[in-house]
Chains A and B, each alone.
Chain A
Amino acid sequence: MGRPTERRGDRPTIVADQGGDVAFDGVDFMAFDSLLSEEERLTRDTVRQFVEDEVLPIIADHFQKGKFPAHLLPQMAELGLFGANLKGYGAAGVNNVAYGLMMQELERGDSGIRSFASVQGGLVMYPIHTFGSEAQKRRYLPELVSARLVGCYGLTEADAGSDPGSMRTHAVADGTSYILNGSKMWITNGSIADVAIVWAKLDGIVHGFIVERDTRGFETREIDNKFSLRASVTSELFFDDCRIPKENLLPHTAGLKSALMCLTQARYGIAWGAIGAAMGCYEEARSYAGERIQFGQPIAGFQLTQQKLALMLTEITKAQFMTLQLGRLKDAGKARHFHVSMAKRNNVYWALEIARMARELLGASGIVDEYHAMRHALNLESVKTYEGTHEVHTLILGEHITGIAAYGGRQ
């Protein structure tokens, strides 16, 4: 929306095209917009404006200081961004394409902001919505929608990353409680979470448990020496004879499959998010290349620069259409986990390549925080690893193609 902001000058006005720079208006090379509904466009535009006004002006500073911009949460909740594609319990209930476009815009701001939304919605609200009891849904979902409660999702352990089935965290029944022991590693939002969805083995089978912040025997520690996702909280979780009431078991979870279903949700959002980061980098590089003069001409006039820009635009455009189709399939109930794997793998791979190319095009300017490309590149290193590494998604596709699982010896 063209709401006038101070940053855009004193007074909103329409200027005749004289070249030069204009604010971000997405990347739409092949009439992508014509495939969107009014509701989908409105969702994207409102989130785009929010990111433009509230995220971009502050994000570099938060990244540099290693600080999550928690002050944005009430406004994000007000906008209805958390668990937006879920139905009922106060959630917005938008379709999966609108949800994806929202993630795209959030990650145009920063992967850390998008990560927060992915975890809160896809990894905390979704499992409660899908595997929880009615009482659990009523108790937690409205609080999570409004971000009065912050959630985290603990699957990964120090020694169980790509192979979560080898997790050691376990629960044993004891009267009306379960006693939880073990630890989780690399957990987004861990130290700021009021409620954790923790995956642990009960009689050898993986289940999800809801652990509240003040439960005795539950501790968290922030990992604060990161080069990546610095505007997002990443933590360790520790469970030391942590006693939780039996009603905190997510009753409909059964095995690792339940945990992986959550990941399919979150990965879907990441596939869109990566496009947003790529768009931000492409636009930044394109505009810089038009203005930076070397050898007496804009660097955009060099063939080598044009090759980079052409590649970026091509990959963004391909990703947009594939991911839109994925969203349409998801809305029709026909998206499969390997479809999501293809989009996550492809889009994050290209977003990272594009971020690196954009940084390169910016020359030395690209290494300072006035520009976004390097922050995106640093963030995308994590995004490439979490929610199934690039290799793991390759193996998921490989298994689908050949019918042969090639993950390793253990199975």
Chain B
Amino acid sequence: MKIGVLLKQVPDSEARIKVKADGSGIETGDIKYVINPFDEYGVEEALKLKKAKGGEVVIFSFGPKKADEAIRGALAMGADRAVRVDGTGLEGSDNYAVARVLAAAVKAEGMDIVFAGKQAIDDDSAQVPQLVAEFLDWPEVGPVETFEMVDDTTIKVERAIGGGSKEVIQSALPAVVAAEKGLNSPRYASLPGIMKAKRKKIDVKTPDALGIPAAEMGAGAALVKVTKWSPPPVRAAGKVLKGELSETIPQLVKLLHEEAKVI
């Protein structure tokens, strides 16, 4: 089976994010980058599927050279090889453009199934898996909490639909499967895995090579534009009410009503 995984390099969830003074983006200087955590579930599920069915696991990523670090992490977990889409003038590409080139890359490699994380934790837009499926004209399911193969061309997944209810979906392959947290527990990259990953191949392809003109990528061509970044307001210090309960409770109710405006 040819198993693809969409993977994005994102700032560590532990990173402290600072918005640039002019609001044009975030300070990327000394942020630590990692594999998007939701994508790790995708990688893990792909590796499990490969173990059960044989074949290969191919990582697909859109990003600069720096993203090789995250890709190498997935190769160290056990993925076989990777395709990274990169080129000049790609900064500011929106989800639509990114999904379009990723779909083209997936198509060029001829995958049977593609896993993804349900969203990237940096911009949280949660659109790329659906868009990739649309460009490929495949079904998309997600966010999935369980995954199983019914037979060689059918999958069965579960997703939460609120209120504790689950939806069970059966889909034909090929399909895009977007992972929810808890789908599995991603393995650690082992030291021998890290050594092997050094020799695994990361193919770098330009949008042009995938049949998508560079002019249709990048900030200039974006359908959705980010106009400004701003940090959330600094949290004000909490208030502690002191005194007898008979006095503080009415005070608390009053504050909740008048200041916090929650009751």
Taking Cβ atoms with an 8 Å cutoff, the residues of A that contact B are 1-4, 8, 11-18, 22-23, 25, 38-39, 41-43, 45-46, 49-50, 78-81, 84, 92-94, 98, 102
Contact B18 A39 (CB under 8 A): no
Distance in angstroms between the alpha carbons of A338 and B29 in the assembled complex: 38
Which residues of chain A have C-beta atoms less than 8 A from B37's C-beta? 2-4, 12
A-B contact count (CB 8 A): 106
Distance in angstroms between the alpha carbons of A98 and B69 in the assembled complex: 16
Q: 20 interchain pairs (CB within 8 A)?
A: A2-B12, A8-B14, A12-B38, A12-B121, A13-B13, A13-B121, A14-B17, A15-B17, A16-B17, A17-B18, A18-B234, A39-B195, A39-B198, A43-B194, A45-B73, A49-B188, A79-B188, A80-B191, A94-B194, A98-B194
Contact A79 B190 (CB under 8 A): yes
Which residues of chain B have C-beta atoms less than 8 A from A78's C-beta? 190
Top 7 closest pairs, chain A to chain B, by CB = A80-B191, A17-B16, A92-B191, A2-B34, A2-B13, A2-B12, A12-B37
Least distance between B198 CB and chain A CB atoms (Å)? 6
Residue B225, interface by CB 8 Å: no
Residue B231, interface by CB 8 Å: yes
* Candidates A14, A43, A46, A50; contact of B121 at CB < 8 Å: A14
Which residues of chain A have C-beta atoms less than 8 A from B181's C-beta? 4, 11-12
Given known contacts A13-B121, A18-B235, A84-B191, A42 and B19 CB-to-CB distance under 8 angstroms: no
* Candidates B12, B38, B72, B121; contact of A42 at CB < 8 Å: B72
Distance in angstroms between the alpha carbons of A45 and B77 in the assembled complex: 13
What 4 new A-B contacts, CB under 8 Å, besides A1-B12, A17-B231, A94-B191? A1-B40, A42-B73, A80-B190, A92-B191
Residue B160, interface by CB 8 Å: no
Taking Cβ atoms with an 8 Å cutoff, the residues of B that contact A are 10-19, 32, 34-35, 37-38, 40, 68-69, 72-73, 76, 121-122, 124, 181, 186, 188-195, 197-198, 231-232, 234-235
Which residues of chain A have C-beta atoms less than 8 A from B15's C-beta? 2, 14
Which residues of chain A have C-beta atoms less than 8 A from B231's C-beta? 16-17
Contact A3 B121 (CB under 8 A): no
Distance in angstroms between the alpha carbons of A41 and B34 in the assembled complex: 12
- Residue from A12, A13, A16, A102 having most chain B Cβ neighbours under 10 A: A12
Contact B188 A50 (CB under 8 A): yes
